[in-house]
Chains A and B, each alone.
Chain A
Amino acid sequence: DIQMTQSPSTLSASVGDRVTITCRSSQSINRNLNWYQHIPGNAPKLLIFAATSLEDGVPSRFSGSGSGTDFTLTISSLQFEDFATYYCQQSYSFPLTFGGGTKVEI
């Protein structure tokens, strides 16, 4: 199975901050990497697919980069509604696997 490692596990930030979350895979996954936002009690939300493509309706302050084994999710200017947990997920091979999550808190 491909292991996905996110860092940090928790991130304290303020509104307006630039935030970067990293995700590393245990083997190359090309660009088969997706990012999700999850607020407890809500359905998870797809933000970025194929490493860099912004899902329809997602604000442009979210961006993704990387390929191979190292990936980054960036929020250019953190908004109040962005306080949530973020997960990366590889869709390169089965079983599909997620990172452990990064909680972005105030």
Chain B
Amino acid sequence: QVQLVHSGAEVKKPGASVMVSCKASGYIFTDYYIHWVRQAPGQGLEWMGWIKPNGGDTNYAQKFQDRVTLTRDTSISTAYMNLSGLKSDDTAVYFCSRSYDPSLGFDHWGKGTLVTVSS
């Protein structure tokens, strides 16, 4: 069955960077886009961007354009989200999800990685 498995929780200081990984299994990794979505405590869902594993094309929300980098390693079916210049309001659960096309819904999600930014 399709699974998206995240790396473990992280605690970072303001100004630092964090990398969250998302390992895919149960399907052909390069056939689906990987999206990253975050949810701050008590808040709703916020889309950050997507990466197309086949080729590595990316599309970022303008809000995160200067601070986020999405990459992938097709040899191990894993996508990565790197967020730099962390601030306290970056404290959130970061989810990866997949879609067959960017215009379609996200049909599978990981359980998310909690990133806490605190001095």
Contacts and interface: CB of A to CB of B under 8 A. Distances in A.
B105 interface: yes
Interface of A: 32, 34, 36, 38, 41-46, 48-50, 55, 87, 89, 91-92, 94-101
B109 interface: yes
Contacts of A42: 111
Contacts of B97: 44
Interface stretch (B11-19, B40-48, B74-82): B40-48
Contact of A55 (B44, B63, B105, B112): B105
A91 B105 CA distance: 7
A101 B44 contact: yes
A49 B105 contact: yes
Contacts of A98: 44-47
Given A43-B112, A44-B95, A95 B47 contact: yes
B103 A95 contact: no
Contact of A44 (B45, B61, B63, B103): B45
Interface string B1-36: 000100000000000000000000000000000010
Contacts of B4: 43
Interface string B35-77: 1000000001111000000000001011100000000000000
B83 to A, nearest CB: 16
Interface of B: 4, 35, 44-47, 59, 61-63, 95, 97, 102-112
A55 B62 CA distance: 30
Contacts of B45: 36, 38, 44, 87, 89, 98, 101
Given A97-B47, A98-B45, A43 B105 contact: no
Contacts of A38: 45
Nearest to A92: B103
Contacts of B109: 43-45
A34 B105 contact: yes
Contacts of B59: 94
